[in-house]
Structures are given as C-alpha cells and as structure tokens.
Amino acid sequence: MKSGLKLLAASAVVIGSSAAYGQTSVTLYGVVDAGVEYVNHQPNGHDVVRMTPGNVSGSRWGLRGAEDLGQGLTGLFVLESGLDADTGLSGQGGRLFGRSAYVGLQGQWGSFLLGRQINALFDIAGDIDPIGLAPKYSLLVQDIVMASRADNTVKYVGKFGGLKASAMYSFGSDSTRANGSEVPGNAKLGREFGGNLSYAAGNFSIATAYDESNTGTTTTTPDATTRRAVLAGTYSFGNTTVYAGYRWAKAYDGALLPGAASQANQRSNLWWAGARWQATGALTLSAGAYYQDFAGTNADPWLFVTSAGYAFSKRTDGYLTIGYTKNHNKSNLGLGAGAAGFGTVLAGANQFGTVIGLRHKF
C-alpha cells in the first residue's frame, strides 16, 4: 500500500511539472465602437447624417493564446477579426481574421512572428499621433498607409530597456491583389519590407520607421513601388503630452500616393503637431494639425482635429470628435467615409464633420 502511495505521489510530481511547463492561456478580447456623424460638402454637394462604426477604435474580436515552453520560451498566436458595428459586416474586405493572424515564439531575445501582421509604420503610428491613430479624423486621413497590414509576413520584435526595434518582410503583402502577390518567378511583386526604432526615457520619446512596398502586378506597372520614412517624437509635462512628426513618401515606376490623383511617381512631405491633455481622471482632450505638401503642385491640404473622450469606466467611454479639412488648388482631402480622406469631397472644397459615439472594450 505504501509503495502504491509513493508511486502515486511520484506520478503527481511528474504530471505537475509537465503541467507547469506546458501552461496554456487563451484570451477572448475585443472592442465595439459606433457613433453618429455629421459631414457637410459631400461629393454630390449635400450634407449627410449617418451612423458610423470604428470612429476612435476599429471594432474587433480576437483570440490571443500563449503556452509556456520552458527555459524562458513562449509559443503564441493571435487571431483578430475586424467588423463594422453598424451593420455587423466583416472588415478588411471580408477576411475572417483580417486584422491579425499570426503564430510565433517569444523569448528574452524578443519575438519571432509569422503571418498577417501590421507593417513597420503601423507599429509606431499610434504612439506618435495626438489623436491616437483613430480610424476617423486622424493622421490616417492624410495617409491611410500609416495603418497598413501585410499578408505573408515574417517579423522580429525586440525590446531592450527603453529601446524597441522591429523588422518585417512580406513575401506578398496583399493576397487579394490578382497577379500581385507571391508570383512564381517574380519575387518582387507584392514584396514589402521595413523596420522601426523607438526609444522612451522619462518624459521623452522618439521613433523612426521605414517602409517599402511593391504595388504592381504582372499586367500593370510591375515595378511600381512606394517608399516612406517617418521621424516623430513626444514630450510630456504634468498632464499634457505634445507631439510632432514628419513623414516623407515617394512613388516610383508608375506607383501612386494617396492624394496624388493620377500623378504617378509623386513625392510628398507630411508634417503634424498636436497635444493631449488629461484634464481629469475621466476626461481627455486632444488636438492635432496635419499638413501635406505634394511636390510640384500647390494642391497641399490641411487637416485640423479636436477630440474629447470621457471614461465612464475602465471599459466603456464616450467621445466627441470634430474635424475640418482645408483644401488648396483643387486638392480633394475630405474626412472620409472610412479612414482614407482623399476623394471624398469635391476638388477644392473644404469639409467639416463631427462624430459622437460610444466604445466598449472586453
């Protein structure tokens, strides 16, 4: 009997050790965001009042999992699906897990990830935009590519004290682009690569990033490429954080930049500045100004944004955001039906909009 008890106890120790080694967690999480928006000067000349989803955060649900593999190594995965809260339709072109779908390993050396992921610009953009890279009325109105995702991506992310670094390479950034992603015999088509560095110490932070993307196909402009570089920083004092940033972009070999109309191979410089003030424990006020200069033209638009957010709890908050675009010499920057603003207002017309809504996180 004693021998049997000893064997049972020994077995329990072994099983317990194995369980500790292979501890697994899976978390269901998400955000639901919807509001009501008023925007004037629509392309047909009229104003509109409409319900809009994903105003300060894209609505989503996701699964995040991790397994302790021992010796400081963790296996992980993320599957994240976007949706429109006003209609229930899937986002990201109807992809099941269009926001993220990747698997990886994490250790003291950093993380190694494989799958659909955000690009090198998106990695830092939320931290350098005073409006927090909101899907509406933010830096994204001037350049939607600042929040791009890439299919078929290998990524490394490392953090070393206050320094964070990331590098990514995509074999084909958009699998829905016919003849433009992972084409046999032409590795350049759909290829995207980039990297970023950010550093934070005390009240100060600085970040830089580079992204290069081939947007061609086998039948149209196969060498079409866009390149972007970003440098931005923040400084905090008291309850206030100030922001300033610059983004350079250039299109090559027939590629087009957002807002460049039909002018291929265009170059643009985008500057922004703003501030965020934690007025009370629940109330946050933000403001930003964004100016883009397209080389060789006077079609250089401004975007101005103010935003207020009120936290009812840790999970539920309300918001009010106001945006205004000022166009010059037939530029056509609008506030957008989604995030991208160009083409959503008549050329040369200015546009005013405001949205009020609720967001819940779970």
Q: What is the DSSP letter of 146?
A: G
Per the CB < 8 A criterion, the answer to whether 100 and 80 are in contact is yes
Each residue of 199-223: b (16+ CB within 10 Å) or e?
beeeeebebbbbbebbbbbeeebbe
- If we measure between CA atoms, which residue out of 205, 185, 120, 206 comes closest to residue 155? 120
Distance CA 132, CA 276 (A): 10
Q: Is residue 10 part of a domain?
A: no
Helical spans, DSSP H, in the chain: 2-21, 120-128, 139-142
- pLDDT, residue 11, reads 40
Domain with 30 in it: 26-361
- pLDDT, residue 26, reads 98
Q: Is residue 224 part of a domain?
A: yes
Q: Is residue 20 part of a domain?
A: no
- pLDDT, residue 337, reads 63
Q: Is residue 9 part of a domain?
A: no
List average pLDDT for each run of 10 residues in the chain, which is 362 residues long: 42 40 90 98 91 97 98 98 97 95 98 99 98 95 96 98 98 92 92 98 98 93 96 98 99 90 87 99 99 91 98 99 95 79 88 98 98
Q: Is residue 266 part of a domain?
A: yes
Q: Is residue 35 part of a domain?
A: yes
Q: Where are the beta strands (DSSP E) in the chain?
A: 24-39, 48-53, 60-70, 73-82, 100-107, 110-118, 149-160, 163-170, 192-201, 204-214, 225-237, 240-252, 267-278, 283-294, 302-311, 316-326, 351-361
Three-state SS at 176: coil
Distance CA 54, CA 319 (A): 12
Contacts of 208 (CB under 8 A, 6+ apart): 124, 196, 197, 198, 229, 230, 231, 232
Distance CA 40, CA 37 (A): 10
Q: Judge if pTM exceeds 0.75.
A: yes
State both tokens at 258.
Answer: 């957002």
Q: Is residue 18 part of a domain?
A: no
What is the tally of structural domains in the chain?
A: 1
CATH of the domain at 208: 2.40.160.10
Distance CA 262, CA 347 (A): 13
Q: Is residue 13 part of a domain?
A: no
